[in-house]
């Protein structure tokens, strides 16, 4: 029982990582109705920018916020330059362009910063840990995720831009008719997703170490979290992320081999399983399509 409790707590701690990433996935899905397969690589690239700034002597929090700003601008730029021209293209084109971005960011990061592992600092003070199970960084990470979720909730619920974004995502034609600039709302969605990804990357890097391939496994768990929670529910994505972390830890402890060797297979099973049994996830709305 003690072991189970311990594993659940540890799972929640790693779940914080996935929750962060799942939040970014859902953001972009809300804005453009697509998964961004390059999301993880974009987050990794942002984290490298932060690392570079810190290495140049910038204090952590200054680098943190500057990176968020750069990532936001980068996300908007990517949308304007790469995706706007093909917004009406078939879905295959989109998937191909996501994969193209994936390879570009991965390769560029390797080119600029090389494939050696780098240590990324944690900004959280020692006293933040909870008991002996959850370290200071994990606690901080969970707090940051929750704050982020709160901010997003308030943004979408109480600001007019947030309302316009929701309108643009749900019904672009009608939104345009009432004067919402749908194109810019999509760009804004990209910027926000990229910024959230940057936060996730900077939170994750102290745990997994910084290198160009660090995100591949994590983005998969991020997707799993988003799918479990429901792709159109930011809150669901966070819950999904935590749930996935717990499932991973418990399966890893109690099913032989799973923990060390088949971590990614758990994500695969979760994704396929949830998509088959309940495609809208735990908290998502079912989408109805008129044909």
Partner 1 sequence: MTMQTDMTHPAETVQHQPRRLPPSGHLAGISIRGWRLIWLLAGIAVALALPFLVKNFTVFQLTQALVYAIAILGLNLLTGFNGQFSLGHSAFYAIGAYTAAILMDRYDVPYWATLPPAGVICLAVGFLFGLPALRLEGLYLALATFALAVATPQLLKFTPIEEFTGGVQGIVIMKPDAPFGLPLSPDQWLYFFTLFVVAILFACAAGLIRSRTGRAMMAIRDNPIAAKSMGINTSLYKSLTFGVSALYTGVAGALGAIVVQFVAPDSFTFLLAITFLVGLVVGGVGSIPGAIFGGLFVLFMPNISESIAEDVKGLTWAIYGVLLILVIYVMPTGAAGLARLVAHRLVRRG
Enumerate binding residues for partner 1 (CB under 8 A): 33-35, 37, 82, 85-86, 88-93, 95-97, 99-104, 106-108, 110-111, 170-172, 216-217, 220, 223-224, 227, 257, 261-265, 267-268, 271-272, 275-276, 279, 285, 287-291
Helix axes 215-229, 234-254, angle to 10 degrees: 120
Task: Please give the Cα distance from 141 to 34 (Å, whole number).
Answer: 27
Task: Please give the Cα distance from 24 to 18 (Å, whole number).
Answer: 10
Buried b (16+ CB within 10 A) or exposed e, 102-115: beebbeebeeebee
Q: Quick one: 223 or 283, whose CB is closer to partner 1? A: 223
Beta carbon of residue 150, minimum distance to partner 1 (angstroms, whole number): 27
Beta carbon of residue 253, minimum distance to partner 1 (angstroms, whole number): 17
Task: Please give the Cα distance from 193 to 198 (Å, whole number).
Answer: 9
Q: Quick one: 177 or 288, whose CB is closer to partner 1? A: 288
Buried b (16+ CB within 10 A) or exposed e, 71-93: bbebbbebbbebbeeeeeeeeee
Contact 191, 185 (CB under 8 A): no
- If one counts every other C-beta atom within 10 angstroms of the C-beta of residue 247, the result is 18
Contact 258, 251 (CB under 8 A): yes
Beta carbon of residue 52, minimum distance to partner 1 (angstroms, whole number): 18
Q: Quick one: 104 or 282, whose CB is closer to partner 1? A: 104
163 contacts: CB under 8 Å, gap ≥ 6: 156
Q: Quick one: 2 or 290, whose CB is closer to partner 1? A: 290
Q: Which of 170, 259, 205, 281 is nearest to 20 (CA)?
A: 205
Beta carbon of residue 176, minimum distance to partner 1 (angstroms, whole number): 13
Beta carbon of residue 113, minimum distance to partner 1 (angstroms, whole number): 11
Beta carbon of residue 46, minimum distance to partner 1 (angstroms, whole number): 17
- If one counts every other C-beta atom within 10 angstroms of the C-beta of residue 185, the result is 22
Q: Quick one: 90 or 179, whose CB is closer to partner 1? A: 90
Contact 37, 195 (CB under 8 A): no
Q: Quick one: 143 or 275, whose CB is closer to partner 1? A: 275
Q: Quick one: 1 or 277, whose CB is closer to partner 1? A: 277
Q: Quick one: 59 or 85, whose CB is closer to partner 1? A: 85
- If one counts every other C-beta atom within 10 angstroms of the C-beta of residue 27, the result is 27
Contact 243, 25 (CB under 8 A): no
């Amino acid at each position: 029982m003690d072991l189970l409790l311990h594993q659940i707590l540890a799972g929640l701690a790693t779940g914080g990582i996935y929750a962060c990433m799942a939040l970014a996935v859902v953001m972009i899905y809300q804005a453009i109705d697509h998964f961004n397969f390059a999301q993880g690589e974009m987050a990794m690239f942002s984290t490298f920018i932060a690392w570079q700034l810190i290495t140049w002597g910038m204090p952590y929090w200054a680098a943190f916020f500057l990176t968020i700003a750069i990532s936001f601008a980068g996300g908007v730029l990517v949308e304007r330059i790469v995706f706007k021209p093909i917004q009406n293209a078939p879905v295959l084109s989109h998937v191909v362009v996501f994969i193209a971005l994936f390879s570009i960011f991965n390769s560029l990061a390797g080119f600029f910063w090389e494939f050696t592992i780098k240590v990324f600092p944690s900004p959280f003070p020692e006293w933040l840990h909870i008991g002996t199970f959850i370290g200071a960084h994990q606690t901080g990470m969970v707090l940051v995720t929750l704050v982020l979720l709160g901010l997003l909730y308030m943004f979408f619920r109480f600001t007019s831009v947030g309302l316009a974004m929701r309108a643009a995502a749900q019904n672009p034609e009608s939104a345009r008719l009432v004067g919402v600039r749908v194109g810019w709302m999509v760009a804004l969605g990209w910027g926000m997703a990229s910024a959230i990804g940057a936060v996730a990357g900077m939170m994750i890097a102290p745990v997994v170490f910084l290198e160009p391939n660090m995100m591949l496994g994590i983005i998969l768990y991020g997707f799993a979290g988003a799918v479990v929670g429901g792709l159109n529910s930011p809150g669901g994505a966070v819950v999904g992320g935590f749930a996935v972390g717990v499932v991973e830890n418990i399966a890893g402890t109690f099913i032989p081999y799973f923990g060390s060797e088949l971590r990614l297979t758990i994500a695969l099973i979760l994704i396929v399983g949830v998509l088959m049994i309940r495609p809208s996830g735990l908290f998502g709305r079912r989408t109805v399509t008129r044909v």
